[in-house]
């Protein structure tokens, strides 16, 4: 029993969260995309700049958890946290760069494998990178005694501009050249460069970013 609890984990946005293909490609007039940086699986969802999106807070290896108290921090210059959603009873307070969360579950949360306990709804604020760190976490067990998770895995969110492959915050000739290299297979396939949404990076995508750079088209 004790060993079971020793392995319990809380985490945000690990490699399991963001699978390839999550989030259909959606492009808005500002040509801005948001990329979830999960470190191991490339996830290149392009989403609306002014939309609201969510990342899950997950737990695993827990049994009969009756409550959870969390504090998260993030860079408010990169994202704005809008709300915390959960199927459990949830209370939260959003401050500048942090969010405090209390949730209770009168059925008890039991999970060997990762399950969502809440979702962080956020909007991108600016291009950039932010960690989403768990700075405090405590569970309540079936006897209402608090205990700490044995492992905490922090998350991160990266907001980038669509087509900015060299990461300098603007579309430039370097980005166009990058696509040219992908098209001729001198660089690996990169779904971020599929601007015409036909499932592959081809000459049409190269033409699109080239025309965007010289102003023939106004949307990538
Ligand atoms: Ca660039
Ligand atoms: Ca294409």
Torsions phi, psi for 211 (to 5 deg):
-70, -30
Q: Which bound ligand lies closest to the C-alpha atom of 160?
A: 1
| Overall pTM surpassing 0.85 (yes/no) | no
Please report which ligand is nearest the Cα atom of 220: 2
- Whether 41 contacts 20, CB under 8 Å: yes
Backbone φ, ψ for residue 193 (5° rounding): -95, 5
Query: How far is it, in rounded angstroms, from Cα 47 to Cα 32?
Result: 7
| Ligand 2 centroid to residue 44 C-alpha, Å | 15
Can you list the domains of the chain with their CATH numbers? 2-161 (2.60.40.680), 173-213 (no CATH)
Show pLDDT as tens, one digit a residue, over the chain (220 residues).
Answer: 333 444 455 555 432 222 222 222 222 222 333 333 333 333 344 555 567 777 778 887 788 889 999 999 999 998 889 999 999 999 999 999 999 999 999 999 888 777 888 888 888 777 777 788 888 888 898 999 998 887 777 777 777 677 888 877 678 999 999 999 999 999 999 888 888 889 899 999 999 999 999 999 887 7
Q: What Rg, from alpha-carbon coordinates, does the chain have?
A: 20
| Distance between Cα 76 and ligand 2 center (Å) | 34
Beta-carbon count within 10 A of 138 CB: 15
């Amino acid at each position: 029993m004790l060993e079971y609890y020793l392995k319990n984990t809380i985490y945000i946005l690990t490699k399991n969260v963001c699978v390839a293909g999550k989030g259909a490609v959606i492009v808005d007039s500002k040509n801005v995309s948001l990329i979830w940086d999960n470190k191991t699986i490339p996830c290149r969802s392009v989403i609306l700049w002014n939309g609201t999106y969510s990342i899950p807070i997950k737990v695993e290896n827990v049994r009969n958890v009756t409550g959870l108290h969390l504090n998260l921090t993030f860079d408010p210059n990169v994202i704005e946290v809008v709300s915390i959603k959960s199927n459990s009873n949830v209370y939260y307070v959003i401050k500048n760069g942090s969010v405090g969360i209390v949730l209770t579950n009168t059925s008890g949360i039991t999970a060997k494998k990762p399950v969502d306990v809440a979702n962080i709804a956020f909007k991108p604020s600016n291009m950039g990178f932010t960690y989403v760190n768990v700075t405090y976490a405590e569970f309540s067990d079936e006897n209402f005694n608090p205990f700490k998770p044995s492992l905490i895995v922090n998350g991160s969110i990266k907001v980038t501009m669509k087509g900015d492959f060299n990461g300098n915050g603007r579309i430039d000739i370097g980005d166009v050249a990058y696509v040219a290299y992908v098209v001729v297979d001198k660089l690996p396939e990169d779904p971020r460069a599929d601007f015409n949404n036909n499932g592959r990076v081809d000459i049409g995508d190269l033409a699109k970013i080239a025309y965007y750079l010289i102003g023939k088209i106004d949307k990538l």
